Amino acid sequence: MSVEADLMTRYCDGDAGAFRDLYARVAPRLVGYLQRMCGERATAEDLVQQTFLKVHGARSAYVRGADPVPWMFAIARRTFLDEARRRKRARVNVSRGEGDLPEVPAAMDGSPLADAKPAAADPELVTAALDALSRLPPAQREAIILTKMSGKSIAEAAAITGATAGAMKLRAHRAYVALRRALAAIGAGGGP
Amino acid sequence: MTDRPRAPASANGEPAADGVDRRVEESLSALSTEGGAAPAMGSALIRELARLQPATTRLPRREWAAVLGLSLFYATGILAWMGVRDDLDRIPPIWLIGIGAVWLAGFLAITWLVLVPPRGQVLPRWRWAAAAGALAAAFFITAGLLRPESLTETGTTYPATISAVVGHGPGCLRWGITVAAVPVLLTALAVRGAIPVGSRWLAAAIGAAGGSLGGLTLHLHCPISERFHIGLVHGGLVIVTAAIAALVARVGESRRRKP
């Protein structure tokens, strides 16, 4: 049983501490995923709160021993789509502002985490990648966010989005090719 | 976690590991959504957590057995009330049991796919369930339309005109939908909360499962042996119940989204 499955089981048994631990493990991943999807950190955090409230309301639908993370991602995605529809956004843009560059993860006291990943060496590269991402069709953008940025396998990403594994693989590949093309232009001296 | 998208291969088939791919990987790594700190819990979540109570979680196989037991009990009751077909003793047993078993198998299989997720997962197999529902509908309609003439000797028949088929349809559809309603409701109640994706397709599959049980009841009740009636009305019942369930799910979703 995975750590998340164990925490979810204890949470369903009424252990509030297990919920907090589960939240601490899953919420950052959901924030990251939703931030890439909606482009706003504040909105992403708000959507994560809504997602966890929905998870809380639907916890009786949990199957003991099952990995809750894909289910939580699927709920987060549904929440995002509902919110996007509610705001009548025809297209949700990935942000490109300087403030949206990768943040350095920190502990609760604000000190940097020991295993924090280094930020990208080249901000121009990251900005170009974000720019290229924003121009991708939403399904391709979501595919590369899930598989390359959120660490989900093709099968998990397919389960979260409701696509087939083949379609997910194709979308991720096309997105990668588009990104590659955009960043090649940067390397050749041209702008995106 | 081995099936991640890979970098496209170069022309000679070797993995393209040039500077561009390195830049793509670097930028994706920099944009990785993993490893950040959790945002603070909102007040609503803290409030919910303060009054946290143990929750009964899903036991999919047990739910499946319960849905089957209750649905079959209900269908048997309806059948007892409607009465069995008057030519029951003249129907070849192999046909009576065989066709009945296929209707029942449709109900069992689709309900299983809806209620029992793959091992280690919460999300139901909605795609397989929907495919099984579509397959069941196609099979029952086709099997009814291609029914051998020899089987029409025992039951009531009528000229295969559009008006006759339409005229005899509503009664069977009404009873079929009545039978389907309870298993659809029970299955939907069991699976609610676990379907953030594919909910309409899952609803259609649930409807198709209910329609299959309705078809089984009609198979044992309706004496009409005209092939268009069997194919289009009894078989078509699966599509009708699937469409109704999907429509109800859609309306429910729309209402839920309204602020």
Domain assignment present for A170: yes
Shared domain for A75 and A128, answered yes or no, is: no
Residue B213 to residue B186: CA distance in whole angstroms: 13
pLDDT classification of A149: cutoffs 50, 70, 90: confident
Three-state DSSP at A112 gives: strand
Shared domain for A84 and A3, answered yes or no, is: yes
Residue-wise burial string across A45-72, b where 16 or more C-beta atoms lie within 10 A, e elsewhere? bbbbbbbbbbbbebbebbbeebbbbbbb
Residue A174 to residue B130: CA distance in whole angstroms: 28
Task: Examine the pLDDT at B2 and tell me if it is beyond 60.
Answer: no
Domain assignment present for A104: no
Which residues face B58 on adjacent strands? A63
Which residues face A106 on adjacent strands? A112
Residue B151 to residue B217: CA distance in whole angstroms: 18
Query: Could you tell me the two tokens for B55?
Result: 């929750």
Shared domain for A89 and A133, answered yes or no, is: no
Closest-CA residue of chain B to A8: B57
- Identify the CATH number of the domain in which residue A164 sits: 1.10.10.10
- Comparing B213 with B34, the larger pLDDT belongs to B213
Shared domain for A1 and A75, answered yes or no, is: yes
- Comparing B89 with B257, the larger pLDDT belongs to B89
User: Residue B30: its pLDDT value, please?
Assistant: 73
Closest-CA distance, A51 to chain B, in angstroms, reads 10
Residue B9 to residue A154: CA distance in whole angstroms: 19
Q: Looking at A93, A110, A137, which one is the last position of a domain?
A: A93
Task: Examine the pLDDT at A16 and tell me if it is beyond 80.
Answer: yes
Verify whether the Cβ–Cβ distance A65 to B120 is below 8 Å.
yes
Mean pLDDT value across residues A24-42 = 87
The pTM (predicted TM-score) of the whole model is: 0.77
Angle at B23 between CA B20 and CA B24, to 5 degrees: 90
pLDDT classification of A51: cutoffs 50, 70, 90: very high
ipTM of the modeled complex:
0.75
Is there a contact between A32 and B75 (Cβ–Cβ < 8 Å)? no
Verify whether the Cβ–Cβ distance A120 to B53 is below 8 Å.
no
Task: Find the CB nearest A31 among B39, B191, B192.
Answer: B39
Query: Could you tell me the two tokens for B245?
Result: 């369930």
- Comparing A161 with B204, the larger pLDDT belongs to B204
pLDDT classification of B218: cutoffs 50, 70, 90: very high
Nearest to A49 by CA among A26, A71, A16: A26
User: Residue A101: its pLDDT value, please?
Assistant: 46
Domain assignment present for A67: yes
Mean pLDDT value across residues A66-93 = 80
User: Residue B157: its pLDDT value, please?
Assistant: 65
Shared domain for A15 and A83, answered yes or no, is: yes
User: Residue A191: its pLDDT value, please?
Assistant: 42
What is the per-residue pLDDT across A81-127, written as a single tens digit (0 to 9) for each?
888 887 754 444 544 444 444 444 433 333 333 333 445 457 777 78
Mean pLDDT value across residues B92-114 = 92
Shared domain for A76 and A4, answered yes or no, is: yes
Closest-CA residue of chain A to B59: A63
Which residues face A112 on adjacent strands? A106
Task: Find the CB nearest B122 among A28, A71, A148.
Answer: A71
Shared domain for A7 and A82, answered yes or no, is: yes
Domain assignment present for A59: yes
Domain assignment present for A23: yes
Interface of B with A in 130-189 (CB under 8 A): none
Domain assignment present for A98: no
Highest mean pLDDT among A179-188, B58-67, B187-196: B58-67
Shared domain for A145 and A62, answered yes or no, is: no
Task: Find the CB nearest B121 among A70, A133, A153.
Answer: A70
Task: Examine the pLDDT at B173 and tell me if it is beyond 60.
Answer: yes
Query: Could you tell me the two tokens for B231?
Result: 């194919």
pLDDT classification of B150: cutoffs 50, 70, 90: low
pLDDT classification of A52: cutoffs 50, 70, 90: very high
What is the per-residue pLDDT across B227-246, written as a single tens digit (0 to 9) for each?
888 899 999 999 999 999 99
Nearest to B28 by CA among A105, A26, A36: A36
As a whole-number percent, the residues of chain B with pLDDT over 70 amount to 83
User: Residue A92: its pLDDT value, please?
Assistant: 47
Mean pLDDT value across residues B242-252 = 92
Shared domain for A82 and A25, answered yes or no, is: yes
Shared domain for A52 and A128, answered yes or no, is: no
User: Residue A129: its pLDDT value, please?
Assistant: 78
DSSP for chain B, please give it. ------PPB-TTSSB--SHHHHHHHHHHHHT---S-PPPPPPHHHHHHHHT----PPB-HHHHHHHHHHHHHHHHHHHHHHH---TTGGGS-HHHHHHHHHHHHHHHHHHHHHHH-PPTT--S--HHHHHHHHHHHHHHHHHHHHT--GGGGSSSB-----HHHHHHHHHHHHHHHHHHHHHHHHHHHHHHTTS-SSSHHHHHHHHHHHHHHHHHHHHHHH--B--HHIIIIIIIHHHHHHHHHHHHHHHHHHHHHH--
Interface of B with A in 13-32 (CB under 8 A): 19-21, 23-24, 26-32
CB atoms < 10 A from the CB of A100, how many? 18
As a whole-number percent, the residues of chain A with pLDDT over 70 amount to 78
pLDDT classification of B156: cutoffs 50, 70, 90: low
* Number of domains forming the structure of chain A: 2
- Comparing A168 with A179, the larger pLDDT belongs to A168
- Amino acid identity, position A56: H
Domain assignment present for A161: yes
* DSSP category for residue A63: B
Q: Which residues contact B123 (CB under 8 A, 6 or more apart)?
A: A70, A71, A74, A159, B117, B194, B195, B196, B197
Task: Examine the pLDDT at B141 and tell me if it is beyond 90.
Answer: yes
- Identify the CATH number of the domain in which residue A16 sits: 1.10.1740.10
Least confident of A38-42, A108-112, B114-118, B132-136: A108-112
Q: Which residues contact B45 (CB under 8 A, 6 or more apart)?
A: A23, A49, A52, A53, A56
Domain assignment present for A113: no
Mean pLDDT value across residues B43-52 = 89
Verify whether the Cβ–Cβ distance B30 to A120 is below 8 Å.
yes
Residue-wise burial string across A164-178, b where 16 or more C-beta atoms lie within 10 A, e elsewhere? eeeebbbbbbbbbeb
Residue-wise burial string across A141-153, b where 16 or more C-beta atoms lie within 10 A, e elsewhere? bbbbbbbbbbbbb
Range of the domain at A50: 1-93
- Comparing A67 with B27, the larger pLDDT belongs to A67
User: Residue B70: its pLDDT value, please?
Assistant: 97
